[in-house]
Amino acid sequence: MDRVVLITGASSGVGLALAGHLAGRYRVIALARRVERIREHLEHNPAVEAVRADLADERQTSRVLDGLLERFGYIPFLVNNAGVSLKAEIADLDARQAGRCMQVNALSPLLIMRKLLPGMRERNFGRIVNVTSGAPLNCSPGFGAYSASKA
């Protein structure tokens, strides 16, 4: 079995920590917009490959995933960790910003799973972890778009 894991949102927080933790036991594909941050923290770790992708851009994300699947053939482990938070009252909410929040937090994980699942099914093995938030349960004022996207 290949030991390749794709981690989204790997330029900071949980994603960056997870990439560093899993490197060595897994070949880590660290996906993020800000790959320079990944390289800054994990540059001396040959098991981590920083790959630039803006998950708000569906076409770009699809192209990046196609390229990764062409190179690796099969990615058995996925951690959908990326997320964007948007703080705005509903009356002030910009539809473009809310759409970006929804794309990154809800639709991109779906796109990524749809790309990786065929290989997992073909080999009868795969693991997917979707990182979410307690925000939908405790929807704080000003975080309606974020809470909705994480629900």
Model confidence over 42-80: pLDDT tens digits? 988 999 999 999 999 999 999 999 999 999 999 999 999
Amino acid (1-letter code) at residue 87 = K
Model confidence over 85-117: pLDDT tens digits? 888 888 888 889 889 999 999 999 999 999 999
Count the helix, strand and coil residues of the chain and give each as a percent rounded to the nearest 5. Answer: 45, 15, 35
pLDDT at 6: 98
Helix (H, G, I), strand (E, B) or coil at 122: helix
Q: Higher pLDDT residue, 90 or 118?
A: 118
* Residue range 24-38: mean pLDDT, rounded: 95
Catalytic residues: 146
| Cβ within 8 Å of residue 66, ≥6 positions away | 115
* pLDDT level of residue 141 (50, 70, 90 thresholds): confident
Q: Return the structure tokens found at 19.
A: 């990439």
Distance CA 86, CA 131 (A): 17
